[in-house]
Amino acid sequence: MLKISLIFLAFITFFVLTLKVVIIQMERLTDKYIGEKHRAIEEIVNTGKVPKAWIDKLEKRISSVSKTQGRSKKVLKMKIQAKTIILKKIDHLIDCSKTSPFVQNKETKEILLNKLLDARRLWEKKDWEEIIASPE
């Protein structure tokens, strides 16, 4: 009887620990897919700038290539690609904002979408250096 109790206790302990790990992983996934989007939207709406997290990744790649190749065609191409990536990301945020259940007030959603669309139009007109340097 003691063996069965210990096996049952071990099973329950294993089950609880597994459940805890699953919950932690779900929190991380939720933060990655929802939290990052909301932080990016908030940064764009509040500052009008490209989110720092987006710029850092792209600038790191561009600067590593420009150190070795200077102002080559490859660097120019990477800057154009970086701008395209940023425009695609804001397009994705705009699409998510249109269908997001997190903003239920119609007027608030409209203001949010207008600010995102304004930022997108502004970034579309500028080149990479202007986008990352611009205050708005």
Q: What is the 3-state secondary structure (H, E, C) of the chain?
A: CHHHHHHHHHHHHHHHHHHHHHHHHHHHHHHHHHHHHHHHHHHHHHHCCCCHHHHHHHHHHHHHHHHHHCCCHHHHHHHHHHHHHHHHHHHHHHHHHHHCCCCCCHHHHHHHHHHHHHHHHHHHHCCHHHHHHCCC
Output the pLDDT for position 134: 58
Residue 129, both tokens: 């250096």
Output the pLDDT for position 6: 92
Output the pLDDT for position 43: 93
Domain boundaries, the chain: 2-133
Output the pLDDT for position 34: 84
Output the pLDDT for position 135: 52
Output the pLDDT for position 67: 79
Output the pLDDT for position 116: 95
Name residues of the chain where pLDDT drops below 50: 136
Residue 102, both tokens: 């997190």
**Global model pTM greater than 0.85:** no
